[in-house]
Amino acid sequence: MRLGILAGAFVTAWYAIGAFGRPYNFFDMKIYHGAVVWWASGHDLYAYSAPDTGLGFTYPPFAGVLMLPMSKVPFGGAAWINVVASLIALAVVMWALMGPIARRYGWSRWFAVGLTVAAAAATEPVRETLGYGQINLLLFLLIMADLVALRWRARTSAGFLPTGGSLVRFIRGGSWAGVGIGLAASIKLTPALFVVYLIVTKQWRAAFTAMATAVGVSAATFMVAGKDSAAYFLRVIWETERVGAADMTPNQSLAGVLARLYDTTEAPTLLWMSFALLVFALGLSRAARAHADGDELTAFVLVGLTANVISPISWSHHLVFVIPAILVLADAAMRRRDASRGLESGRRLTRRGLTPSAGMGGLAPLRTPIWFPALTGLRHASAAVAVYLLFVISPIWPYEHQLPEFSHYEDGLWGALMENSLALALIILVATLPWRPGAEPAFYPERFRIDRRAIRQQQQQIHQR
């Protein structure tokens, strides 16, 4: 039965991709593959120009080093290897994200992961990543691996010591938290905002690990590709025209919105910087609050969405953090629904002159009546469904326009709204995404910490006996 449901989910996702996606031919993979073949033959990496489009390699040189083995593989093989690796990365991330939710509701974890992978595959960021041969899901895995590492390290710090061999204890101890973010920032610059977040939330060890990792791999890359490293950091990084014009429809960042609203190829610099700074402060402050309340997942999501909004260029395939944002909205709806049932139960007991006991979940007497308990959580559930459908349908493409041939107001205000719809949704999520206090803490408050020395002494006493 479950296998049939999963098969139906993947078939539905396939039809959704066909209905709302675009023709895909691994456009970006052609550039990556051509660039590393060119580089491997002795040419300068950043001098490469694709035959049909004239586009070149834009990532830091460390990304080129990682992609260099592709030069030994035919283009088609490299493209499909990336598709398989990206789907595996998505499944691993979903396994980590759905674990706490599945345990809380008693769901089968593999079944929940299968459904969410199928649902995510139909969304704009995932299907564009796979169809273009992009690396966003691999970077997503690196960043979310640090979320898992923070959870594990927090449990170890609280006294829950991992068991197993030395390698297993090291991995489960989570002391490597920050390595994933450091690697991701060395491959692409925007994940560096997570380092700022770690500093703001005073997660010093993870922040220093991330910075040391980024500096270390960049220095190692300079040792093997010094000329290309110097070219990137001294020249290429400032050549924004290599990426594309800000007003291009797939650029769903704040800069893209402003450029299209002003109907120019570039966003007004001062206006963009002012609003970007405001979104930066809002996103980081809300992420810090979510962290302080014990919801590290929502904190990471807010940072990822903020990076998409303030980046000068955020193509629609970059927006992978909308996937966990939908999970957060759905989980918030279910939590509120469960809370309303508990409070309603407490109200009934109070009417009978009884006090809800700790054995009944520690319910407190309801002071505010719930007039429509069936509707509790509806706001967040509706938001989750709306955001999901928006990113599946992706209404930006029917209203795609390109200056100077066509104005971005060619289809009126409705067309302009649709062309900017994904970016506007990101900005709204940064401002309103709820967090769930105590949902998935990657830390333990001091009052819950356990004396590790006392635990070791108890273990030694048991061993001696």
Please give the pLDDT value at position 134.
96
Estimate the crossing angle of helix 124-132 against helix 136-157, to 10 degrees: 120
Q: Phi, psi (5° rounding) for residue 440?
A: -140, 70
DSSP string, 178-207: THHHHHHHHH-SGGGHHHHHHHHTT-HHHH
Task: Give the length of the chain.
Answer: 465
- Give the CA count within 13 Å in the CB-facing half-sphere of 381: 10
- Give the CA count within 13 Å in the CB-facing half-sphere of 281: 5
Closest CA to 132 of 17, 279, 6, 291: 17
pLDDT along the chain (465 residues), means of 10: 91 94 92 94 91 88 94 94 97 94 89 96 97 96 94 77 74 87 95 96 95 96 92 87 88 96 94 97 97 94 98 96 97 84 54 45 42 70 96 96 90 95 98 89 56 55 57
Closest CA to 27 of 255, 309, 240, 244: 244
What's the rounded Cα separation, in Å, for the pair 462 and 381?
A: 50
Distance of CA 326 to the CA centre of its chain: 11
Please give the pLDDT value at position 447.
41
171: left (phi over 0), alpha (psi -120 to 50) or beta: alpha
Exposed/middle/buried for residue 57 (C-beta within 10 Å: 0-12, 13-18, 19+): buried
Please give the pLDDT value at position 450.
46
Please give the pLDDT value at position 368.
45
pTM over 0.85: yes
| Neighbouring C-beta atoms of residue 342, cutoff 10 Å | 17
